[in-house]
Structure formats: structure tokens, C-alpha cells
Amino acid sequence: MAKRKHIYKVVFHNQGKVYELHAREVSHGQMFGFVELAGIIFGERSAVVVDPSEERLKTEFEGVKRTYIPMHSVVRIDEVDKEGTNKIVSVEAGSANVTPFPMPLYTPSGDSGGS
């Protein structure tokens, strides 16, 4: 029986844009507070029509074996049956009802003296 290959769709925020990537491996990684993506999948395009956002992602992640995304930037991780199109979508101010505010995972107490 052949082992089923997993494909994950990961949606995350990065520099005011929403990235959607497909990867073969997703884990909590060895760096605390980061999600590790490995084996990023890019569709082979034999057609004349080229998606510019996927080409930009291909260029951005060229030669990358693993990438680490801050946990608080991840919006969603789905296991899917087949790969889809990777894309970057700009987040325009006022286009959404709720905008997440990045917060650190660990917030040290600001009071160094005891109370």
C-alpha cells in the first residue's frame, strides 16, 4: 500500500500582504514560536498564461529548503487533497471588518521592582 503524500495549504500575513502557500511538510519546528514549512510546492505551468503572483513567490522562495513563519502571523493551515495556486493578496485598509494586531507570544512584565 502506497503511503499518501500530505499537502498543506498555509495562509499567513507578511508585510501587509496575505500569502497562500502549498507545502509538503508543516511542523512547529525547532525554533520556539515559529511554524516550519518545507517542500514548498509550485505548480508547473505549461500554458502561455502565467500568474504573476505565483511567479513572484517562486522568485522569493527560490532555493529555499525550509522557511519559518512567526506563529502569530499564521491565519490558517489546511490539509488538502491536491495542490492549488500559490498567491499573494494585498490587504487594503478598511477592506476587512477585523484586522489582526501582531502581538508577541511572550510578554515580559514591565515592572522590574516587586509590588
53-75 residue pLDDT tens = 788 888 888 888 999 999 999 99
Task: Name the pTM for this structure.
Answer: 0.71
CA 97, CA 4: separation in Å to the nearest integer? 39
The conformation of residue 16, written as its DSSP 8-state character, comes to: T
The CA-atom distances, in angstroms, between 25 and each of 30, 52, 76, 90, 107 are 14, 25, 15, 26, 30
30-53 residue pLDDT tens = 888 899 999 998 876 555 666 777
Strand partners of residue 68: 36
Nearest to 85 by CA among 6, 5, 9: 9
